[in-house]
Chain A
Amino acid sequence: MVEVVLWGSLADQAEGARKVEIKAATLRELLDGLGEKFPGLRPELKRGVSVSIDGRIYNDSWFQPIAPDSEVVLLKRLKGG
Chain B
Amino acid sequence: MALDDTKKTRDFKVVGTRPDRPDGIDKVTGRARFGADMVLPGMLTGRILRSPHAHARIKRIDTSKAEALSGVKAVVTRADFGEVPADVADVMDNCMAGDKALYDGHAVAAVAASSPAVARKALKLIEVEYEVLPHVTDVDEAIKPDAPVLHEGRQQETVPGGMSANVIARSEFGHGDIEVGLKQADRVVERSYRTAATHQGYIEPHACLATMGPDGKADLWVCTQGHYMVRNTCAAILGMEQGQLRVTASEIGGGFGGKTVVFLEPVALMLARKSGRPVKMVMSRSEVLRATGPTSSTSIDVKIGMTKEGRITAGFAELRYQGGAYPGSPVDMGAMSGFAPYDLENVKTVGWDVVTNRPKAAAYRAPGAPMAAFAIESAIDEAARGFGLDPLEVRLMNGADEGTKASYGPTYPAIGLKATLEAAKSHPHWSAPLGENQGRGVACGFWFNFGGDTCVSLNITPDGTVTVSEGNPDIGGSRASMTMMAAEELGIPYDQVRTIIADTGSLGQNEVTDGSRVTFAVGLATIKAARAAKTEMCRRAAMVWGIDEEAVEWEDGAARPAGPNAGKFPPMTLKEIAAIASNTGGPIAGHHEVNAEGAGVSFATHMVDVELDPDTGSTKILRYTVFQDAGKAVHPSYVEGQFQGGAVQGIGWALNEEYIYGKDGILQNAGFLDYRIPVASDLPMIDTVILEIPNPGHPYGVRGVGETSIVPPLAAIANAVSAAAGVRMTQLPMSPPRVLAALQAQADG
**A residues apposed to B, CB below 8 Å:** 5, 7-9, 12-13, 40, 43-44, 50, 52, 54-61, 64, 71, 73-76, 78-81
Contacts and interface: CB of A to CB of B under 8 A. Distances in A.
Contacts of A43: 156-157
B167 to A, nearest CB: 13
A8 B318 CA distance: 13
17 contacts: A7-B173, A8-B350, A40-B157, A43-B157, A56-B413, A57-B448, A59-B450, A60-B595, A73-B409, A80-B257, A80-B367, A80-B450, A80-B515, A81-B260, A81-B363, A81-B364, A81-B707
A9 B258 CA distance: 29
B412 interface: yes
A79 B515 contact: yes
B599 interface: yes
B598 A56 contact: yes
A55 B410 contact: yes
Interface in B423-452: 448-452
Nearest to A74: B409
B174 A8 contact: yes
Closest 9 CB pairs of A and B: A81-B257, A80-B515, A8-B172, A81-B363, A73-B409, A52-B410, A76-B332, A80-B514, A9-B172
Contact of B367 (A7, A73, A79): A79
A5 B174 contact: no
Contacts of B598: 56-58
B422 to A, nearest CB: 22
Contacts of B170: 9
Contacts of A5: 409
Given A7-B172, A81-B367, 17 more contacts: A8-B171, A8-B174, A8-B348, A43-B156, A43-B157, A56-B413, A58-B598, A61-B595, A71-B411, A73-B409, A75-B336, A75-B409, A76-B332, A78-B448, A80-B449, A80-B516, A80-B707
A58 B597 contact: yes
B365 interface: yes
**Which of B157, B367, B451, B707 has the most C-beta atoms of chain A within 10 angstroms of its own C-beta?**
B157
B412 A55 contact: yes
A69 to B, nearest CB: 13
B697 A56 contact: yes
Interface string B337-379: 0000000000010100000000000111111000000000000
Contacts of B551: none
Nearest to A80: B515
Nearest to B517: A80
B89 to A, nearest CB: 14
Interface string B271-295: 0000000000000000000000000
B392 to A, nearest CB: 26
A27 B529 CA distance: 26
B256 A81 contact: yes
Interface string B599-643: 100000000000000000000000000000000000000000000
Nearest to A60: B595
B604 to A, nearest CB: 16
Contacts of B365: 81
Q: Report the interface size class on chain B.
A: 35 or more
Given A55-B411, A80-B450, A9 B171 contact: yes
B597 A57 contact: yes
B333 A79 contact: yes
B408 A78 contact: no
A73 B409 CA distance: 6
A76 B364 CA distance: 18
A8 B335 CA distance: 11
Interface in B39-94: none
A81 B293 CA distance: 11
A21 to B, nearest CB: 17
B506 interface: no
A71 B410 contact: yes
Given A8-B348, A55-B412, A81 B597 contact: no
**Which of B258, B333, B697 has the most C-beta atoms of chain A within 10 angstroms of its own C-beta?**
B333
Given A9-B172, A43-B157, A57-B450, A78 B515 contact: yes
**Which of A13, A56, A71 has the most C-beta atoms of chain B within 10 angstroms of its own C-beta?**
A56
Given A58-B597, A60-B595, A79-B333, A73 B172 contact: no
Nearest to A72: B410
Contacts of B582: none
A35 to B, nearest CB: 14
**Which of B156, B408, B409 has the most C-beta atoms of chain A within 10 angstroms of its own C-beta?**
B409
Contacts of A74: 409
A7 B173 CA distance: 5
A78 B333 CA distance: 7
**Which of B256, B332, B364, B410 has the most C-beta atoms of chain A within 10 angstroms of its own C-beta?**
B410
Interface string B183-201: 0000000000000000010
B332 A81 contact: no
A61 B599 CA distance: 14
Contact of B450 (A71, A73, A78): A78
Contacts of A40: 157
Contacts of A59: 450-452, 595, 597
B158 interface: yes
Contact of A9 (B158, B451, B452): B158
B330 interface: yes
A63 to B, nearest CB: 11
A55 B158 CA distance: 26
Interface in B248-263: 256-258, 260
Contact of B410 (A12, A64, A73): A73
Interface in B671-711: 697, 707
Contacts of B697: 56
Nearest to B257: A81
Given A73-B410, A79-B330, A81-B257, A57 B599 contact: yes
Contacts of A73: 408-410
A75 B337 CA distance: 12
A73 B348 CA distance: 16
A55 B414 CA distance: 10
Contacts of A13: 157-158
Nearest to B704: A80
Nearest to B695: A56
Contacts of B707: 80-81
Contact of A75 (B363, B367, B408): B408
A3 to B, nearest CB: 12
A71 B413 CA distance: 12
Contacts of A57: 448, 450, 597-599
Interface string B486-530: 000000000000000000000000000011110000000000000
